[in-house]
Structures are given as structure tokens and as C-alpha cells.
A and B are shown apart, each in its own frame.
Chain A
Amino acid sequence: MSEALLIVAHGSHLNPKSSAPAQDHADAVRAAGAFDEVREAYWKEEPSLRNALRTVAADEVYVVPLFVSEGYFTEEVIPRELRLDFEAADWDSDGTSADSVTLEPSDVDGTVHYCGPVGTHRAMTDVIVRRAETVTGTPDVGEGVGLAVVGHGTKRNENSAKAIRYHADRVRERDRFAEVRALFMDEPPEIDDVTDHFESEAIVVVPLFVADGYHTQEDIPADLGIADGDGDYAVPTRLDGHDIWYAGAIGTEPLMADVILERAADAGASVDAWPGDDGDRPTADRAGGD
């Protein structure tokens, strides 16, 4: 019984960086030898979601969406385009708790384990903390430091904000950072007034976006007020008496590859090896679960 990992991502007709995280994490999983086959598929690039399953030889395919939250793409677009007979209710999710369902696609023989998005997996909390460590260059960052977990937020999909708050709450429970806030681009509390939300002088801002693009490289720096005339920003940037450590899209963090594998392993995949077996694996939550 051979197994394949299919990482599905949005991709872009305009931004070549959009697919970079999916490619990089696929390469990391492949290099670790975690799966017999590792493939990517995209909504906007190729292979398209429509053609993806027929490029896989394995008869068990673990489909992991490289998306931040549950919503339109994970519940409607991806299953429809992969030709899965799936209803969002199959996940029985509260908005952040989708795990996996086992389905038979209509255009190929075999079994698909359709997983929830990486963004709502509990291990993403570790990636957020890791991102704070890497952007500040401080392995034990936290004491006296504020952490802003930033999401798009949209009134059209309440799950978008739920995913951000879920991880902000989990980081806060660890009592590692002086303050933790969930902030948004398109709904309150908004990132425009980031310094109003923190007393700590140092504020680490981690946007929960998959790829670096317009939102993470132009919109958010401008909204935060750290962008200079050319739209560039320094790390850190001094702003209203605070140091803003802006991390860029979390999807580019190498530890994300492990979250992808966690999703597949939770769905029953026999993951043979982990990219972080040298100590980087986000194991904090695996033992106890939650």
C-alpha cells in the first residue's frame, strides 16, 4: 500500500512567490523521505487541482491544504476541483477543528484522506513561536516582548479570524510572551493601531499568511506604519516608542513542513521520517494532544 502526500495551495497568475512555500515544503518532505511520493497542486497554477490526483501513482493520497483557515477554499473549491464527494459538515468542525475525512475521488481509483488546513493545526502555534525566534534572532524570545498574531480577517468568513484567535490564545496560555494579541487587516482589532495594543517596547508581528505577496509585503507594512517611502521596511522598525519586529508570511517558515506532515500523520499516514528529526520537530503538543 503506497502513500502519497499532495500539498494543495492557492498559487497565483501574477506572483511567482505564491507557490514557493508549497514547493519548498514539498522538497523538505521529499528530502526527509517521509512519503513514497510528494506532489503539489494549485488553484491558479499547475498541476491544477483538477489534474492533480491523476499524476499520483500511490493508492492512498493524503491531501493537505496549505491554507490558513477553514472556509471557501477548503470547504468548497478544493474538494470540488479534486472531484471529492465532500460536504463541509463531514469535518464536523467548530471552525478550527477540521481533521480529516476519507473519500473516494470520482475520476481515479484510490483513496483520498482530505485533511484540514495547516493553519488551524495545533502545531502551527509552535511555528508562530519559532517565527518570533527567527525574526528576532533570540531563541528564548518572550520575556518583556509583545506578540501580535495577524490575520486577514473578513466579515464573509468568521473562521478566518477564529484561526488567528485560536493560536493567539494558545501562545498566551504558554506564558512565554508578556502580551499576545490577535490583530486583523479587515476587521477590528486592526493592525493600523498596533502600538495601542501593547505596553511592551518590543512587538513581534507574525502574519498568518501562506506566501509573501501583496498583503504581507505591501499592505500590512503600510497599515502598521513601518513602510518607508519605497514600501520597504526595516526589521526592527522604531515606531511610537516601540520596536516592531515584522516577520513576513509565516508560510515560508521551514517548520511548516512538519505541520503538513502532522496533518497527514493525524489522518493515518505512516510518516516514515520528519524533516526536523534532528530536533526541529514541533513535538510539544503531540505527546499530550489537546
Chain B
Amino acid sequence: MIDPPPTGRAVIEMSERADPWPVEALREAATDGVDFDGLVVTRDGDGFHLAVPGASYEGLSAVAFADAARRHGAYVENWLFWHQHAPQTPADWAFLRWIERADDLSVPERDERLRDDGDGVTREWGQVAVTVRLTGNGRRRYDLRHADEVDVARDALSTYADPCEARRLRKTDDDGDYRPLSTAPTLPHGWAFVDLGPAAAVRAVDGFYPATIANWHREREGVLDVTHWHETVSRQTGIYGVVQTWDRGEGHAHVDRVAEACCDDSQCLKRREWEYDAETPLSVDGGSGVFPCREPCSMVIAAAREWTRLEAEQSRTYAFDLTPSEKEQIETIIDAVADGRVDEIREGDTGDGANRYRARYLRAKLFDEVGNLCGVPTDADDANADGP
């Protein structure tokens, strides 16, 4: 259903055997030719030809070909893994290549770094660290952990083998609170996926961060279909149809604020690629995430529905008498909530304006009995009804 196979990479039709001997498989593939990661193999009337960086063999008999292939076994096993054992879906294939830096590291370099007596190669996808190691015959195994816990002893983590558990793990944060946005930077800690095969590793990553691999791959191939803000809100119906009325030819400052509120790296690990429309970029940074965000998500649209209603109100002038410190304290409280800092404020730190005792004192001083700041009613009508 997804993209066509990448060009320049022939997917070989291997025999029924699940795990063919690499040299034997290479000999079978030689007739069609192999050119992959530095390994070049052909076969013609003169026999087999095999070349790797720094060595070349011409006109080999089958026996001599097997000797040469074994001499450069890392190349042969690497070829077999990527054409027989790795998932052949282009996005999954490209993702696993990215994990082990196949575009940057030669086969011998990867062979050295991926050996299972070493650290393997680890890359971070959002807050998930994926570590790949070689086992034997070029086969890879993958471990997944929270990026903060790569060095934590395995015994200290709950281990999982079923990649489908990832989509359940991602549903709550460390406090057990529900995470409706999978790419929020609040992935829980304390788990490890151990010894996954390549397809299972992809499935687990997709469980943590759904569709990110597919869209990342589309972006790499230059075919990411970005749907910008205006087009996205224009197709909304039902209770979200009202968001269309927020775009009234008044510029895009309101969308800048939405992106600043919801799409900043501190709130979402996707890199925002959508703008107001194709010709009108937003003024705020899209973030630095590895994987792209191709259109405003349902969280953004649901929040925009609230803001559409709230922003339909007109500003009024209210007069509040505040000390300079009280004004600053209100600003500190808003910052603390907006930055998710409230839980970090120490109980006894009354020097922090967002400390609970400080906030309670401010409320005791400034709110009247029905909760109006400085006794100023929200609506002027209420002032007339209740006023002196």
C-alpha cells in the first residue's frame, strides 16, 4: 500500500529457505548481478566476478568464488541481511539503515561497531533510543529504551519482547497521566525492548511514535505531502467546522500563537513542516525533531476550536491595583503553568512567585468572595447589578 520500492535496489527473490547460507545465496544472485554497499558481483561466460573496496577478483570458478566471498564475508552477510532479513517495505528498510548509519559508515566500519561484544550503534528517534548489534551471519538484533536510560542496567528495567506493547506503554507518562499526544516529550521511563528482530523493532518504534517512520521516509524521498493550516481547518466539519471562521484574512498571528503554544519542541517532538499556507510561512520556529509533522494534528484542531470561541470576544479595559511584585507574580504563575514547571516548585520555596503558598496568599488578598480579581467583575453588567 505504501511507496514503490526505491530505485537502484533490486529485491532478490530468495529461495524458500528462511536463512540461506550467505555465500550460497550470493552465488544464486550473481547471475542477476549484485551492487550493494561496496560489494559488486556478476557472472558471465568467464565465471564469477567479485569486487569490494580494495580488492577485485575476475573469472572465478564456483569454488574460487566461494573462497573470495568468505574472505569478504562482512560484505556478503551485510548484503544478505538487507535483502533477505530486513523488512523490504521501503520506509522500514530506510529507517533501519538510518539507525546503523549505513549511509555514513562502510561495511567494515559497521561490522566493527555492530559486533555484539561492543556497544553497537545507537540512534535516538524522539525519546526512544534504538541500539543495533550484529549476532551472526550478518543478522541484527535491536534493543529499544528510553533515551535517558541507555546506560541503565537491564535488571532495573521492565523488559518486553512483543513490539505491540509499545503502543500501550506510550499511553501514560511517568506519573501515570494519559498522553493523548504520542510525540509529547513525556515518554515514560523504566522499560526496555530486548533482542527484537528488524521488523519487530520497526513495529515497536511505530507503536511509540505512530506513522513517524512513514512520513520521515516520504520527506527523505522528497514526496512528503504537507497539508497547511488553512487547508486543514477548511476541511473541518461538525463541532470543528467553527475553526474555519478564525481565518478571516487578518494575517496569521493567531496561527503563530497556536504553533508557539502547541508545536514547540518543548511540547511536541515532531518538526512542524506545515505553515499558514504554501505561500505564507509562520513566524515561529518549526522545531528540530528528526521526524516531520505534515499537518495540524487533532490536538491542535481541538485547541483551536476553543481559541476560535475565546478569540471572538472583544478586548475591554479593566483597572486592577497591583503592587509591582504582584504584577510580576501573576506573570510568573502564567509562565510556570505554560512551561509545565508547577510540579517542580518546592513546597518551602516561597521565593518563587508560583509557589502554592504565594499563590494562595495572592488569592486571599486580591480575590473577592466570588473570585473576581481585585473585586472587578468580568462583565460590566454584573458591576451594575452588584455594585454599590
B-binding residues in A (CB < 8 A): 4, 12-16, 19, 23, 27, 30, 40, 43-48, 50-59, 61, 72, 76-77, 80, 107-110
Q: Are A16 and B211 in contact (CB under 8 A)?
A: no
Per the bound structure, the CA–CA distance linking A23 and B214 in Å amounts to 21
Say yes or no: A109 contacts B4, CB within 8 Å.
Answer: yes
A57 to B2, Cβ gap below 8 A? yes
A12-B180, A14-B178, A107-B225 known; A51 and B214 CB under 8 Å?
yes
15 contacts between A and B (CB under 8 A): A13-B299, A16-B172, A23-B168, A27-B164, A44-B180, A45-B180, A50-B295, A51-B294, A52-B211, A54-B218, A57-B1, A57-B87, A57-B92, A107-B225, A109-B2
Least Cβ distance of B192 to chain A in Å?
21
**Contact yes or no, A54 B214, CB < 8 A:** yes
List chain B positions with a Cβ less than 8 A from chain A: 1-2, 4, 87, 89, 92, 164, 167-168, 171-172, 178, 180-183, 206, 210-211, 213-215, 218, 225, 227, 235, 237-238, 294-295, 297-299, 302
> How close is B3's CB to chain A, nearest CB, in angstroms?
8
Contacts of A110 in B (CB 8 A): 1
Complex contact B302–A54 (CB within 8 A): no
Q: A54-B214, A61-B1, A77-B238 are in contact. List 12 more A-B contacts (CB 8 A).
A: A13-B180, A13-B298, A15-B178, A19-B171, A23-B167, A40-B167, A51-B214, A53-B1, A55-B211, A56-B1, A57-B92, A59-B1
Task: Say whether A109 contacts B1, CB under 8 Å.
Answer: yes
A44-B298, A55-B210 as given contacts; A108 in contact with B1, CB under 8 Å: yes
Residue picked from B164, B183, B218, B235, most chain A C-beta under 10 Å: B164
The interface residues of chain A lying within 8 Å CB-to-CB of B167 are 23, 40
Closest B residue to A105 by beta carbon equals B1
Please name the residue on chain A nearest to B218 by beta carbon: A54
B contact patch SS = loop
Could you tell me the distance between the alpha carbons of A57 and B5 in the complex, rounded to whole angstroms? Answer: 11
Report yes or no: A48 in contact with B297, Cβ–Cβ below 8 A.
yes
The residue on B at minimum CB distance from A50 is B295
Q: Which residues of A contact B238 (CB under 8 A)?
A: 72, 77
Given contacts A48-B297, A54-B211, A54-B218, contact A16 B178 (CB under 8 A): yes
- Determine if A54 and B298 form an interchain contact, defined as CB atoms under 8 angstroms apart: no
Give the docked Cα–Cα distance between A186 and B89 (Å): 48
Given A12-B180, A23-B168, A54:B215 Cβ within 8 A: yes
Contact A77-B206, Cβ < 8 Å, known A12-B180, A48-B298: no
* Min CB–CB distance B359 → chain A (angstroms): 26
Alpha-carbon separation in the docked complex, A244 to B87 (Å): 53
Q: Chain B residues near A53: list those with CB within 8 A.
A: 1
Whether B206 and A55, one on each chain, are in contact in the complex, defined by CB atoms closer than 8 angstroms, is yes
* Structural contact, A14 and B180, CB atoms closer than 8 A: yes
Q: Which residue of B lies closest to A54 (CB)?
A: B214
A162 to B50, CA, bound (A): 70
**A58 and B180 form a contact (CB under 8 A):** no
Among A4, A14, A19, A46, the residue within 8 A (CB) of B211 is: A46
Whether A47 and B89, one on each chain, are in contact in the complex, defined by CB atoms closer than 8 angstroms, is no
Select one of B2, B180, B213, B235 contacting A56, CB under 8 A: B2
> A16-B178, A77-B237, A110-B1 are known contacts. Are A55 and B214 too (CB-CB below 8 A)?
yes
Instruction: Give CA–CA (A107, B248) in the complex, Å.
Output: 29
A156 nearest CB across to chain B (Å): 10
Q: What is the distance, in angstroms, from B199's C-beta to the closest C-beta of chain A? A: 10
Q: Which of chain A's residues have a CB closer than 8 A to the CB of B214?
A: 51, 54-55
* In the bound complex, CA of A265 to CA of B237 (Å): 32
Query: In the assembled complex, how far is the CB of residue B144 from the closest CB belonging to chain A, in whole angstroms?
Result: 18
* B211-A51 in contact (CB<8A): yes
Give the CA-CA distance A107 to B235 in the complex, in Å. Answer: 16
Residue contact B164 to A46, C-beta cutoff 8 Å: no
Q: Which chain A residue shows the least CB distance to B225? A: A107
Q: Smallest CB-CB separation from A46: which chain B residue?
A: B210
Question: Which residues of chain A are within 8 angstroms of B235 by Cβ–Cβ distance?
Answer: 80
Q: Which residues of A contact B297 (CB under 8 A)?
A: 46, 48
Q: Which residues of A contact B164 (CB under 8 A)?
A: 27, 30
Among candidates A13, A27, A59, A76, residue contacting B302 with C-beta atoms closer than 8 Å: A13
What is the minimal beta-carbon distance from A235 to any residue of chain B, in angstroms? 26
Min CB gap B271→A, angstroms: 15
Instruction: Give the distance in Å from the alpha carbon of A40 to the alpha carbon of B302 in the complex.
Output: 21
A31 to chain B, nearest CB (A): 10
Residues in A neighbouring B210, C-beta threshold 8 A = 46-47, 51, 55
* Bound complex: CA A106 to CA B350 (Å): 58
- B297's nearest neighbour on chain A, judged by CB, is A48
Check B302 against A58 for contact (C-beta < 8 Å): no
Closest residue on chain B to residue A12 by CB atoms? B180
A30 to B235, alpha carbons, bound, how many Å?
34
7 closest A-B pairs by beta carbon, nearest first, are: A47-B210, A51-B211, A110-B1, A46-B210, A13-B180, A16-B178, A54-B214
Taking the closest CB of chain B, its distance from the CB of A93, in whole angstroms, is: 20
For B225, list chain A residues within 8 Å (CB).
107
List the B side residues contacting A58 at CB < 8 Å: 1
- Considering residues A16, A30, A59, A110, which has the most beta carbons from chain B within 10 angstroms of its beta carbon? A16
Q: Which B residues are CB-close (under 8 A) to A55?
A: 2, 206, 210-211, 213-214
Tell me the bound Cα distance from A173 to B214 in angstroms: 49
Cα distance A102–B216 in the bound complex, in angstroms: 29
Contact between A51 and B215, CB atoms less than 8 A apart: yes
Contact status B299-A4, CB under 8 Å: no
Tell which of B4, B92, B211, B227 has the most Cβ of chain A within 10 Å. Answer: B211
Kindly list chain B residues whose C-beta atoms are within 8 Å of the C-beta of A13.
Answer: 180, 298-299, 302
Known pairs A23-B167, A43-B298, A55-B210; A108 contacts B2 (CB<8 A): yes
**Nearest CB of A to B121, in Å:** 25
Chain A residues with CB under 8 A of B302: 13, 44
Q: In whole angstroms, what is the CA distance A17 to B382 when docked?
A: 42
Contact flag A46-B182 (CB < 8 Å), given A13-B302, A57-B89: yes
| Among A30, A43, A44, A107: residue with most chain B CB under 10 A | A44
- Nearest chain B CB to A9's CB is how many angstroms away? 13
**Cβ-closest chain A residue relative to B90:** A57
The minimal Cβ–Cβ distance linking A202 to chain B, given in whole angstroms, is 37
| Shortest distance from the beta carbon of B118 to any chain A beta carbon, whole Å | 32
